[in-house]
Chains A and B, each alone.
Chain A
Amino acid sequence: MADEPAHQNVLEAMSDLASLEALTLEAIAAAGDEAALDAVRVGALGKKGSVSALLATLGKMEPEERKVRGASINKLKDAIVEALEARKAILKQAALEARLKAEIIDVTLPVRPSPLDTGRVHPITQVMDELAAIFADMGFSIAEGPDVETDDYNFTKLNFPPDHPARDMHDTFFFEPGPDGTRKLLRTHTSPVQVRTMLTQQPPIRVICPGRTYRCDSDQTHTPMFHQVEGLVIDKQANLGNLKWILEEFCKAFFEVPDVTMRFRPSFFPFTEPSIEVDIRCSRKDGEIRFGEGDDWLEILGCGMVHPNVLTACGIDPEVYQGFAWGMGIDRIAMLKYGMPDLRAFFENDIRWLNHYGFRPLDIPSLVAGLTA
């Protein structure tokens, strides 16, 4: 057989390749890290590597033999490359796992507080924003005026006759008389803002007037400074029925209850006629007040039809125009809604109180979100 030796050579060579493959794959599998794996790669596929040495022998071969031999060597090479890549991926994964195992934090360590957690707005601000949201929706705008007022705007134009005992009901802070003998005072209610509004705006008028007010009085339920909000509606037909509706709508929206029951009682304010005080039905339990239920009554505000003398004093003809006004304590309704027991604490600025009763900066009242929802 002429090709017998050749056949013999091929068989030997084939067994060489097989053992080389077996050896190399074994070395790949044994490589413990990427460096060891790379050493195997260089030993096999590097310039002087075993597979490269085999490829170098091809040049001296006959074309026939080269063809057979070349295919075998390339197959060996592919097998080694594939095994190298597979091993590399495994080692990479193992290395990542080992790293992740070592990278451990104590997740219970506290973070630094966010400014959004520590910041607070005062309940008075919150309630003023709630009032604005409710009344804006009913078409009211917000009117403001100075705290230092004249006797004329605080009393006389509001139909408080000079020396009338009704003035005694307002414990007024006065300033020393000026050169012309008149003395300014700190407004005892926000009603002078109504006067200013009527003097400068033509009806129809719909405003609320929130602000600081002052009375020379101090005990658990009175502070020398407090906050009031008043409302004023002037047009050609606004009547007590409308006032009742506005107040009902307000109380439902503000106290966030589906229904309120109100009691109107005749009363007296110099600037309204008829004058009315309003109670709302509530229940009291363990110091907590709930509206829309129970059989107790809580006085919440004063109101009435604007007195013709006030309209006249503000340049509005009471035969043509009419309207109503109401007023209540912002601090008081804040206490009722949010359950603060003591008015005085509102102005002590004890950080513990502010943190507890204050509101977060992004709790911005809006009707779409249900005020405090």
Chain B
Amino acid sequence: MKLTLNWLKDHLETEASLDTIVATLTKIGLEVEEVKDPARALGGFVIAAVLEAKPHPNADRLRVCTVDFGAAAPMQVVCGAPNARAGMKSVFAPVGTYIPGKKTTLGPGVIRGVESNGMLCSAAELELSEEHDGILDLPGEAPVGTPYAQWVGLDPVIDINLTPNRPDAMGIAGIARDLAAAGLGTVKTPAVAPITGGAPSPVTVRIALDGADAALAPVFALRGVSGVKNGPAPDWLQAKLRSVGLRPINALVDITNFLTFDRARPLHVFDAKKVSGGLVVRRAAPGETLKALDGKTYTLDASMVVIADDSGVISLAGIMGGEATGCDETTTDVLIEAALWSPNAIAATGRKLGIVSDARYRFERGIDPAFTLPGLDLATRLVLDLCGGTASGVTLAGTVPEPDTRILFPYSEVRRLTGLDLPSTEMLQILEALGFQLAGSPGNADLIYVKVPSWRPDIFGKADLVEEVIRIAGVDRVVSTPLPRQSASIPAAILTPLQKRTRQAKRALAASGLVEAVTWSFVSHEQAVLFGGGEPALVLANPIASDLSDMRPSLLPGLIAAVGRNAARGAADLALFEVGQIFKGDGDKDQRIAVAAVRSGTAKPSGGGRHWSGAAGSVDAFDAKADAMALLDALGVPTGGLQVVAGGASAFHPGRSAVLRFGPKGVLGSFGEIHPSVLAAMDVAGPLVGFELILDDIPAPKSKPTKAKARLDLSDFMPLQRDFAFVVDRGVEAGAIVKAALGAERTLVTHVAVFDIYEGQGVPPGQKSVAITATIQPRDQTLKDNEIEAVMGKIIADVTKKTGAVLRG
């Protein structure tokens, strides 16, 4: 919402400076976004008399002018304007002036061999209009040496970032009312003199909306003015419109635009001679079209309210008129429309058609119904004054609504909600200055009835009145007051187990040398499908880009894509992780927290790249497994019962990946090498390994009655180690051998490690040698040789029995 200082002063008698007004506007909730003060921007431009204008010796189109701009000595400037002539008054910019229209600061120059110090300026160079054909030609009485902006009365423009709850401030009169309430002067908006009498309106009006539809257009008023002379509006009106960024069109149209800004009262004018028959307000028929005043043709549907005549739709109610019935210089008979429309219907239609207009902006926020007929009278008065003619009477369809919102307001509500103690007299004074009326008191000194003014459709209850009081009284008067803790004791953990695990997971993975990425929650449809998603419920209807269309079913596509982008910039060894939400459906429970990590190139946990102590090899599935296991360990997940089952999720290499699970129904996720087809589809080079686990699916640690740790069992006897090499079928998993060895003598065999895997010479084809070392921990006494041999025999027997392995001879 734009206004100018002088326009504001049409409605507000005030001595306040521009700075005070701007600060007050922001303070009372009308946040000033920008102030353009031409007097400040154009301070260097002064009125000057052209003493001489001689032809330039070296250029036909240039003139060498001598200019008196109030300085001790006249200045010589070279000027290319065709209208530069001796004796004229114009605007002069001395050297050092910033020229807004050229975005440069003027320096001394030599033009075609003639010295030029300064510039005679066009309106375009001052950014006052588009006019750049000649320098400004001022009347003879313009005082030489005076700043031009000051003399011409250039008006500071204030741009307010208006919140949608303040339709009353969509007119400058309403803004003046707010400022007056805040103590910045008195309102002087002139009262509207009713226009009475006149012949009946020449055009009939009918609202063809019944029942529930009646709310779409509560009232439609029309008045004709015949015998007008339309043409350019007077300068004052054109200047006002330009000052708030509007383009003057012709007097009739400009009057409606003026009242839109002045009083927040949008109106429309039809050329009566272009209207055939009576007007009907109705829903559009599906497929009807209208060529609107913006020159575009819109196709309408039955949700939209239109104004039609015998020829069809002539105006899109409350949003934009039609080109065919618009007013131009030939208009002699005009119909002025002042109506009310349903804010929601206007908003819906405007959104559907993509039309942004000053009328829509106001109607969809709600305009003052009580100003419908005064607005029509004011417009008529302006038409009669500026264009002449004879006014008819008003044709009225529907009735003007008379909102009567009364609120029972306890003064103490202000203290309850804000903590601020204000005298009730001050509160009442504020409310009355804003147009609220004291409408009785139920007998309690704290309680009053307040009648809400017709221009405040946003006020419903006492909290709204608290806001009105507090914003005018000053929110900065609220005193900061400590909010004590509800309990003085040291609080219990405030994070849920899942929140705690999310934090632990991030720190643990970072401590493993991985870098945390945050990738979009959406991926392309192709990627969603590739990673097991893509269901219709998770496809956005209005994605911001086609490759961000589906909610991600996995964190891996985002991470893999990030690896690809970094590789394209030359960083090929990457270790990234993300902890975040993935989507399996659109229900609340379908959003899960996943943890995923990827490693590419040589980004091994022990460090990547080439190094004097030995180059890192390529990442492999075991790096991903190590990351996953380290994570589970950091989360305190007991991994004793964890099963590592060959063959991970479909995005992984089937032979080089596995599922991590606690039984068939306790799947946590997968690790391994990323499937070559996935890499190909995403155009990312391998080697690339990774894992993804679902944090929600990791069982919670068993809660124990105390925090005490299990008793530490320290044996006094030396543990001993024995090595075994087994030959076994290639397909037998080393894990099975380890498990069998561990189970052979549970109390004595405390640890089994695999230290060698060998295939080749000496081992039959299709078989492999697996070498393990078992740690045997004596418990009560040192083991004798025969006892040790018995344990070893048990290990060999159990491994052979469970895996078919044979001790290598």
Contacts and interface: CB of A to CB of B under 8 A. Distances in A.
A241 B418 contact: yes
A220 to B, nearest CB: 15
B501 to A, nearest CB: 13
B566 A322 contact: no
A355 B590 CA distance: 33
Interface in A105-149: 109-110, 112-116, 118-122, 124-125, 129, 132, 136, 138-142, 144-148
A336 interface: no
B470 A349 contact: no
Contacts of B509: 119
A326 to B, nearest CB: 13
A129 to B, nearest CB: 7
B517 A122 contact: yes
A241 B479 contact: yes
Contacts of A346: 518
Contacts of A266: 27-29, 467, 470-471, 475
Interface in B531-588: 536-544, 548, 551, 562, 565-566, 569, 571, 574-576, 580-581, 583, 586, 588
User: Among B351, B507, B611, which residue has the most Cβ atoms of chain A within 10 A?
Assistant: B507
Contact of A136 (B486, B491, B541, B588): B491
A163 B347 contact: yes
Given A122-B517, A349-B566, A113 B607 contact: yes
A204 B49 CA distance: 76
Interface in B383-436: 415-420
B655 interface: no
Given A113-B607, A163-B344, A216 B542 contact: yes
A147 B586 contact: no
A212 B521 contact: yes
User: Among A141, A225, A273, which residue has the most Cβ atoms of chain B within 10 A?
Assistant: A273
B591 interface: yes
A183 interface: yes
Interface stretch (A25-33, A44-52, A85-93, A243-251): A243-251
A358 B577 CA distance: 13
B613 to A, nearest CB: 7
B485 interface: yes
Interface in A183-205: 183-184, 186, 204
A148 B495 contact: no
B507 A233 contact: no
A121 B506 contact: yes
Contacts of B612: 109-110
Nearest to B164: A165
Nearest to B481: A241
Interface stretch (B120-128, B282-290, B458-466, B679-687): B458-466
Interface in B298-330: none
How big is the A interface, by class?
Answer: 35 or more
A244 B540 contact: no
Contacts of A333: none
B520 interface: yes
A184 B28 CA distance: 37
A349 B507 contact: no
Contact of B506 (A109, A125, A132, A350): A125
A275 interface: yes
Contacts of B164: 164-166, 169, 268
A338 interface: no
B451 interface: no
User: Among A217, A240, A245, which residue has the most Cβ atoms of chain B within 10 A?
Assistant: A240
A174 B544 CA distance: 11
B540 A276 contact: no
Contact of B511 (A119, A163, A174, A351): A119
Given A148-B583, A212-B521, A265-B29, A115 B513 contact: yes
A239 interface: yes
A5 interface: no
Contact of A347 (B417, B491, B520, B540): B520
A308 B419 contact: no
B739 interface: no
Contacts of A217: 544
B605 interface: yes
Given A175-B538, A265-B27, A273-B463, A165 B481 contact: no
B351 A121 contact: no
B416 A275 contact: no
Nearest to B614: A112
B542 A354 contact: no
A206 interface: yes
Contacts of A265: 26-27, 29, 31, 475
Contact of B418 (A116, A240, A351): A240
B729 interface: no
Contacts of B520: 224-225, 347
B483 interface: yes
A173 B420 CA distance: 40
Nearest to A233: B483
B365 interface: yes
Contacts of B344: 161-164
B419 A242 contact: yes
Contact of A174 (B418, B486, B540): B540
A2 interface: no
Contact of B542 (A136, A173, A274, A275): A173
User: Among B31, B517, B548, which residue has the most Cβ atoms of chain A within 10 A?
Assistant: B517
B417 A139 contact: no
B104 interface: no
B297 interface: no
Given A163-B347, A274-B470, A118 B607 contact: yes
Interface string A352-364: 1011001011101
Contact of A273 (B163, B466, B491): B466
B518 A267 contact: no
B142 to A, nearest CB: 39
A305 to B, nearest CB: 5
A165 B365 contact: yes
Contact of A245 (B163, B482, B491, B513): B482
B364 interface: yes
Contacts of A110: 611-612
A207 to B, nearest CB: 9
Contact of A140 (B31, B494, B522): B494
A273 B459 CA distance: 10
A173 B581 CA distance: 17
B767 to A, nearest CB: 37
A267 B62 CA distance: 56
Interface in B121-173: 163-166
Contacts of A239: 415-419, 481
B808 to A, nearest CB: 36
Contacts of A147: 521, 551, 581, 583, 591
User: Among A162, A241, A276, A358, which residue has the most Cβ atoms of chain B within 10 A?
Assistant: A241
B763 interface: no
A75 interface: no
User: Among A112, A238, A275, which residue has the most Cβ atoms of chain B within 10 A?
Assistant: A112
A173 B463 contact: no
15 contacts: A114-B513, A116-B513, A124-B518, A136-B494, A142-B495, A165-B343, A175-B541, A176-B539, A178-B586, A183-B541, A216-B544, A239-B417, A240-B478, A274-B475, A305-B418
For the complex of A and B, list the 9 residue pairs with the smallest distance between their C-beta atoms, beginning with the closest.
A115-B513, A266-B29, A241-B419, A268-B163, A361-B510, A241-B481, A274-B467, A266-B471, A119-B510
Interface of B: 26-29, 31, 163-166, 343-345, 347-348, 351, 364-365, 415-420, 461, 463-464, 466-467, 470-471, 475-476, 478-483, 485-487, 491, 494-496, 499, 503, 506-522, 536-544, 548, 551, 562, 565-566, 569, 571, 574-576, 580-581, 583, 586, 588, 590-591, 605-607, 611-613
Given A265-B29, A266-B29, 11 more contacts: A112-B611, A148-B586, A164-B164, A174-B540, A216-B542, A274-B470, A347-B519, A350-B565, A354-B516, A355-B515, A358-B516
